[in-house]
Amino acid sequence: MEMPDVFLVKELVLKDVEVLHILQPGKILAYVVIEDCHRHSTIDDFPHIAHLYEEGEWESRTNFIKAQIIVKDDSLSKEEKDVLSEMVMIYIESKPSVDTFVQFAVKPEVYDYLDSYDENPSLFYNALLKCTENSHDVKRITIDSLNHLTQIES
């Protein structure tokens, strides 16, 4: 069996958000922010297909889960983006009544926070969490707290 060239690595698990990175041996290609929005999906969640539906035709699902793949620049090819999107979709897993949307976002400013990661990882994660629909904020994330399976703050 041939091993894949790219891996998903979980970094942070909060109540409604997970942060992962996409690792290619030797470098991180992107960060992924997956958010459980706790709401019905709408056609506005899918702007790329909205023009295909008439008013009232959209059948909403019970929940909407959104993933953003955060990259430093736009250097990935369309084929690479398709592969990474598929990996994230598979990771999210199938749910009985959930719509899922994966999109890419170029956010070089997020990567600037990596310089202070060892001293204060909360700065980096809060920069990533600004990409979410709902307000998520981590205040007490430390390097030590990242040693646990979840970092849910009370």
The pLDDT tens digits of the residues spanning 30-41 come to 999 999 998 888
**CA–CA separation, 40 vs 86, rounded Å?**
22
Q: Kindly state whether residue 129 falls inside one of the protein's structural domains.
A: yes
Segment 3-55, tens digit of pLDDT: 568 999 999 888 899 999 999 988 999 999 999 998 888 777 777 777 777 77
The domain of 11 spans 7-39+61-134
**How far apart are alpha carbons 85 and 69 in whole angstroms?**
8
Residue 128 within a domain: yes
Contacts of 133 (CB under 8 A, 6+ apart): 35, 37, 66
Q: For the chain, how many structural domains are there in total?
A: 1
Q: Is residue 24 part of a domain?
A: yes
Does the pTM surpass 0.85? The reply is no
Q: What is the pLDDT of residue 153?
A: 56
Rounded to 5°, angle at Cα 15 from 136 and 118: 65
